[in-house]
Amino acid sequence: MNDRILKSAFDLTEQTALITGGGTGLGLGMAHCLVAAGAKAVLVGRRKSELDKAVAVLGKNASALVGDVTKLESTPTLVEQAEKMAGPVTILINNAGVHLKKPATGTSDTEFANVLQTHVFGAFALTREVGRRMIERRNGCVLFTASMASFMGLPQIVAYTTAKSAYLGLVRALAAEWGPHGVRVNAIAPGWIDSDMLDQALRGDPSRKAKIISRTPLGRFGEPDDIGWAAVYLASPAAKFLTGVVLPVDGGAAIGF
């Protein structure tokens, strides 16, 4: 196998990725890697200032689109705007999310519904809209950002765990239904990734940090580009026969003890 074939297997040139929650955190980490692989990236989020900063770092192949995935009625317009900016969306990454840390008995119906509105209803509405277009073109890749909470019970995040577990069903159902139309559907389940969000979660709680590290076979936290390169692989020709998969990128945490 020569270098040209190897490079083309992971080449995303002429691909357009729509990334929700793309201005910060894992969304931005995935955008960095996708752009490095040649893709154009449209970053969607609610905070224009964060999106603008991200685009300034990513360069000319990135653009920003202010939008809220929970506003389901605006989903078709959001997709139309994205395609006018950067061309047909061939890669969709459902990464937008909210977190709620509360005991189950103290989680209200409204709080529970709000978490599902973003992760499940918002992601499905966007996937349905983009998926229609991908099916017409008989080409596309959809990725969901799952979680360790998709696999294991974690206390005090019942709404988040429910939402991330729902992704497993979405991936399987959509992969089975859309595969014959040339559209692949997969998910990445990040482990504990070094980020501002993780730093805030673990600040002042050394015992929790030690517990996470102790059950992670590789003995460290991941980095945003660990998730980003996994996204590049799943979206690339190298993964052309891969669909319906939830890929843990977690240093072994899901199987560690």
Please report the DSSP string for 17-84 in residue order. Answer: EEEETTTSHHHHHHHHHHHHTT-EEEEEES-HHHHHHHHHHH-TTEEEEE--TT-GGGHHHHHHHHHH
Q: pLDDT at position 196, please?
A: 77
Asked whether residue 257 is domain-assigned, the answer is no
Which range marks the domain in which residue 160 is found? 15-248
- When divided into structural domains, the chain yields a total of 1
- Decide: residue 117, CB within 10 A, 0-12 exposed, 13-18 middle, 19+ buried: middle
Asked whether residue 253 is domain-assigned, the answer is no
**C-alpha distances out from residue 185 to 85, 88, 241, Å:** 24, 17, 11
Asked whether residue 214 is domain-assigned, the answer is yes
Model confidence, pTM: 0.95
Asked whether residue 162 is domain-assigned, the answer is yes
Residue-by-residue DSSP string for 138-191: T-EEEEEE--GGGTS--TTBHHHHHHHHHHHHHHHHHHHHHGGGTEEEEEEEE-
Active-site residue identified among 112, 124, 160, 233: 160
Asked whether residue 9 is domain-assigned, the answer is no
**Measured between alpha carbons, how far is 127 from 79 in angstroms, rounded to an integer?**
10
Asked whether residue 22 is domain-assigned, the answer is yes
Report mean pLDDT in 10-residue bins for the chain, 257 residues: 79 98 95 98 96 97 97 97 97 94 96 97 98 98 96 92 97 98 98 84 84 93 96 98 98 90
Asked whether residue 254 is domain-assigned, the answer is no
CATH number of residue 93's parent domain: 3.40.50.720
Q: pLDDT at position 220, please?
A: 95
Q: pLDDT at position 1, please?
A: 57
- Told to judge if 160 belongs to the known catalytic residues of this protein, a careful annotator would answer yes
Asked whether residue 256 is domain-assigned, the answer is no
